[in-house]
């Protein structure tokens, strides 16, 4: 697919059989035309996650690009950049062992109205490692039997972030604690337990997909945690099969933009001893149906 951006073709190249495309010949630091934004959004809906390389973005420029797709929202638990209140730093220092976003998950699924999408921009990356995996929940839903689809469509999931939110330990350094300690407002998020359908209809494409984040899950509505666990574990393993995934290798200046309504992701933690510094923003969405 290509579209002219002031005479330069905007190239969109699919990278796997499931999801993901690289978008080339576009400078995201500039004010893009409505036509260019429309084509990027079209590719976003088709491929679910887009990758842009060789960008040079200030926080203001990243936010300006993000706002072309919707209102930006706050992120709980991490203090935003001084340069922009909607962008958070995602940093793992060379001496830290835990990373941000490790494990398959869907961003902010524990909110009543989770985000439409996420944009992550690479400021500094390790020489190797630190890739991000993405999984297509629409293909995962389409791959199961019609009887299993019927069962899934009858289920809703109770979400909670309480069991994965904790104060950082005394062994964590001061900078890590200052970035991650909850505020009073964040505690309202911790106490909430929204319920979302396991099968979500995408509001723009009309396609059905699994909407699920194992690490934030408490149980199925109307079931106990023990009763829910076998199917929850099966769903996790099914959704993250390699056939449904794409893997992105970061470079400084790379930006990934994924559709949170039908994509799960996993930040790999295989670069101990090196620093990784990213800027992240989330675009507001609607209550899942």
Confidence grade of residue 164 (pLDDT, cut at 50, 70, 90): low
- Known catalytic residue at 280: yes
d(CA 221, CA 228): 9
Asked, for residue 266, whether it belongs to a domain, the answer is yes
Q: Classify the C-alpha dihedral 34-40-42-48 as positive or negative.
A: negative
Q: Which residue in this structure is represented by tokens 């970035």?
A: 179
User: What is the average pLDDT score of the chain?
Assistant: 90
Contact 80, 180 (CB under 8 A): no
Tokens of 280: 């992240």
Neighbours of 224 (CB within 10 A): 9
- Residue 56's CB is within 10 A of a number of other CB atoms, namely 11
User: Of residues 200, 265, 276, 279, which has the active-site annotation?
Assistant: 265
Alpha carbons 233 and 287: distance in angstroms, whole number: 25
Active site residue 265: yes
Contact of 268 with 129, CB cutoff 8 Å? yes
pLDDT digits (tens, 9 = 90+) for 76-133: 889 999 999 999 999 999 999 999 889 999 999 999 999 999 999 999 999 999 999 9
CB atoms inside a 10 Å sphere around CB 145 = 8
Q: What is the pLDDT of residues 253-281, one digit of tens each?
A: 999 999 999 999 999 999 999 999 999 99
Q: Which two tokens stand for residue 144?
A: 């199961």
Residue 114 in any domain: the answer is yes
β-partners of residue 2 are: 11
Q: Within a domain: residue 289?
A: no
pLDDT at 176 over 90: no
Q: Tell me, yes or no, whether 14 lies in a domain.
A: no
**% of the chain at pLDDT higher than 70:** 87
pLDDT at residue 178, rounded to an integer: 40
Asked whether residue 204 is domain-assigned, the answer is: yes
Cβ–Cβ < 8 Å for 217, 84: no
pLDDT of residue 8: 61
244 in any annotated domain: yes
In three-state secondary structure terms, 83 is coil
> With 0-12 CB in 10 A as exposed, 13-18 as middle and 19+ as buried, what is 242?
exposed
Active site residue 259: no
pTM, to two decimals: 0.90
Looking up tokens 């869907």, which residue turns up? 106
Spot the catalytic one: 48, 107, 196, 261. 107
Q: What is the CATH number of the domain that holds 277?
A: 3.60.130.10
Query: Among 48, 84, 105, 200, which one carries the catalytic annotation?
Result: 105
Please compute the mean of the pLDDT values over residues 133-151 and round it to a whole number. 98
Would you say residue 288 lies in a domain?
no
Give the pLDDT score at 113: 93
Residue, of 162 and 93, whose pLDDT is higher:
93
Whether 32 is covered by a domain: the verdict is no
Q: What does the angle CA 245 – CA 266 – CA 243 come to, to the nearest 5 degrees?
A: 15
Among 278, 58, 289, residue whose Cα is nearest residue 196: 289
Burial (CB < 10 A; 0-12, 13-18, 19+), residue 192, is middle
283's tokens: 């675009």
272 catalytic? Reply is no
Q: Is 121 helix (H, G, I), strand (E, B) or coil?
A: strand
Rounded CA-CA distance 288/165 in Å is 23
Q: Number of folded domains in the chain?
A: 1
The whole-number average pLDDT for the span 166-176 is 37
Residue 105 is given by DSSP the state: B
Domain range holding 164?
73-283
**CA distances, 72 to each of 67, 75, 181 (Å):** 6, 10, 22
d(CA 260, CA 283): 9
Query: pLDDT (tens digit, 9 = 90+) per residue, 45-80?
Result: 999 999 999 999 999 999 999 999 999 999 988 999
């Amino acid at each position: 697919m290509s579209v002219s951006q002031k005479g330069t073709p905007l190239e969109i190249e699919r990278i796997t059989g499931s999801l993901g495309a690289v978008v080339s010949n576009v400078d995201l630091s500039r004010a893009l035309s409505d036509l260019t934004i429309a084509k990027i959004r079209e590719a976003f809906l088709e491929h679910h996650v887009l990758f842009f390389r060789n960008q040079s973005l200030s926080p203001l420029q990243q936010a300006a690009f993000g706002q072309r797709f919707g209102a930006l929202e706050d992120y709980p638990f991490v203090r935003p950049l001084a340069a922009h209140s909607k962008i958070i730093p995602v940093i793992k220092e060379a001496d830290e062992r835990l990373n941000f976003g490790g494990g398959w998950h869907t961003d902010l699924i524990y909110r009543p109205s989770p985000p439409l999408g996420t944009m992550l921009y690479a400021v500094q990356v390790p020489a190797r490692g630190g890739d991000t995996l993405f999984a297509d929940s629409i293909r995962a839903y389409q791959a199961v039997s019609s009887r299993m689809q019927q069962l899934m469509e009858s289920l809703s999931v109770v979400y909670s972030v309480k069991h994965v939110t904790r104060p950082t330990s005394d062994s964590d350094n001061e900078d890590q604690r200052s970035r991650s300690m909850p505020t009073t407002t964040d505690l309202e998020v911790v106490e909430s337990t929204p319920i979302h359908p396991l099968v979500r209809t995408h509001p723009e494409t009309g396609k059905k997909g699994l909407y699920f984040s194992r690490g934030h899950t408490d149980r199925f509505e109307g079931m106990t945690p023990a009763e829910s666990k076998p199917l929850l574990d099966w769903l996790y393993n099914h959704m993250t099969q390699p056939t449904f995934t794409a893997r992105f290798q970061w470079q400084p200046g790379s930006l990934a933009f994924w559709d949170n309504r039908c994509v799960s992701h996993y930040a790999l933690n295989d670069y101990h001893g090196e620093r990784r510094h990213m800027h992240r923003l989330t675009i507001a969405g609607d209550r899942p149906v």
